[in-house]
Structure 1
Amino acid sequence: MKRILKITLLLALVSGHIFAQKIVFIAGPDSHGKGEHEHQGGSTLLVKSIQEGLPGVNAVLLQSGWPKDSAVLNDADAIVIYADGGGDHLLIPHLAEMDRLTKKGIGLVMLHFSLEVPAGEVGNHVRDWIGGYFEINWSVNPVWEAAFSTFPDHPIANGVKPFSITDEWYYHMRFADGMENITPILQALPPESTLKGKDGTHSNNPGVREAVLTKKELQPVAWALERPDGGRGFGFSGGHMHKNWGNDNFRKIVLNAIAWTAKAKIPEQGIPSATPTEAALNALTKKLD
């Protein structure tokens, strides 16, 4: 009987029915015009890339927000959220559940608008889970071209080469005090043109002007957190423009980070993935009314 069980398990492993890690993607509804905030199309591409680049990992896509049956999250090694944020953030009704999951050591990745959460209880939770978040009247969300020329000695940077890309890169995020246990993965000094607007909830404020214009502080737009509970978190402020998933380095950073939060082994040259054509990217998007 024991021998039969061992053979059955071996066959299951070979056929792909037993996976080293499970990653659950929660994609919110698409919310902007075609080509922007394409949460479902972007998540679909990332899931496919994970499945092809790391065949030992089980990547699961949940569409249209938080699952009705959240039991699917209980055995996850990492959860990826690509959705709208703000006061209607999909996490707000599920803070206790997400806190329970992260305290089990489950990794968490939050992409673009999902990083914006209300300050206070929600913001404090997200800061504990991934290291930082977008706080209105403190963080800003201009569109600008960021150039990344150097990277830390970190598995998320495996195989990534210098690149420049235009996106709605959020910056001046609300990070944990002293950036404790946080490693900036992508950082750049935004141009002064990003702070030409009037003060507003998302546009400008005295704190960001001091940091960028006076102190010339590099601004992390992607970062990794190693939590005291043994889990990992990753925040990525890009991802507004769907076409950017066609950039190999942009895509590789996020794929590597997702795998890292799940504690999957990242190849020395990073997770391989085919460069999607413009037509393939367009096929993943929807035109909103």
Structure 2
Amino acid sequence: MTSFQPGTALITGASSGIGALYADRLAQGGYDLVLVARNVERLKALANDIRTRTGRAVEVFPADLNDAVSLAKVEAKLRQDAGITLLVNNAGSGTHTPLLDSDVEQMSRMIDLNVTALTRLTYAAAPGFVARGSGAIINISSIVAISPETLNGVYGGSKAFVLAFSQSLRHELADKGVRVQAVLPGATATDFWATGGLPVEHLPAEIVMRAEDLVDAALLGFERGEAVTIPSLHQVEEWNAYEAARHTMAPHLSSNTPAPRYRAAV
């Protein structure tokens, strides 16, 4: 197990799946924990297990991030607890259901959780990290951030926000001692799929990664200082080319004249 800077990690969506594994790995690496999720009993069981195995301090912080009052309590915790050195924005929801078959209220709640809650928690944590000159934020995005046709478009749009937000935040905080990483999981063996109505067993086995492997790879990318970590992408040159093309275009995306292809033929 690689080592991490000492401190306290606040992890959202920590009661199961990827969030629970982040809790386990970070505790093994020397972090104390604040575990945030709705399911109190699961949180307590996980906290007791981690305390017993690692000896780390683990605080259970029940909260529903879709509820404004609960969300505000987590924001206050991040602003007031100077011991928190790492925020893992893992909580999120998704679906594979096509856009026109989806309930708009459910989609709005997805945006509230995947976008609004993540943004507010980041805004609560980042100023303290900057003031102290150290800290880190890990945002769990998805491969659909760059492949929105793969699943439901609202889900893809919400995860594209997470990626763009993370990249912009990293750019702004790079010289202030704060690290920002976006993690883009592919299909991962968690209850995410069953919750969305498509059990993971129905997916081709060759595209589904074990959650343990996903988290271990993501944390290795974090230690290496990666801005974006895509554990399933074997050919990293493809991502590098994608990013290079994006940066090449950037200076040319705004101009005072339309491109010649949009000028009316004489």
What TM-score comes out, normalization by structure 2 length?
0.40
User: How high is the TM-score relative to the length of structure 1?
Assistant: 0.37
* Structure with greater helix percent: 2
Higher share in strand: 1
